[in-house]
Amino acid sequence: MGSGGQGTEEPVCAFAAGTDDSPPEAAPPLPAPRQTPLEAPVILDRIDAMTRHAIETLLDGPDGWRPLGRDLVARWPEARALELIFAIVSAAEAIETMFAPGSPALASAAAGYKVAALLGVDLFAMQSLGLPHHAAADFIAYWRSDPWFRLV
């Protein structure tokens, strides 16, 4: 019975007296870490460019929001999928900040939040289905497989 060495002759730990004092064998070297899209550095200039593009597209007119997700994927396929959502939310927030309450431009901000939410839903569906979902380009394969998505 192990009583932790209290009142018995059992050692308390592996390094207690009477154990092998030789140094442990060296572990084999670990392979070099592979950089995945999630570990790739965030490129701030790219996010700024995406945000500017989103602001311009959203303010282009009442239906300016419709091509936004596709446009961002087409222009920056190497970006992380979540960068697109971040850029669109940043654009919507910037529009809210730039325009006074009651301005018709605020509808563009609401449309931006809608596009970001729709991309988020697509991203969740891709992840749930076990599909690639890290890069912006991964949206294209998902949109092509979705029978309800007719814009690709």
Cβ atoms within 10 A of the Cβ of 96, count? 17
pTM of the prediction?
0.71
- Write the pLDDT tens digit of every residue in 75-131: 999 999 999 999 999 999 999 999 999 999 999 999 999 999 999 999 999 999 999
Domain ranges of the chain: 44-145
At 135, is the secondary structure helix, strand, or coil?
strand
Length of the chain: 152
State the Cα–Cα distance between residues 50 and 83, nearest whole angstrom: 9
**Span 132-149, mean pLDDT?**
88
- Write the pLDDT tens digit of every residue in 8-43: 555 554 445 555 566 656 666 655 544 555 566 779
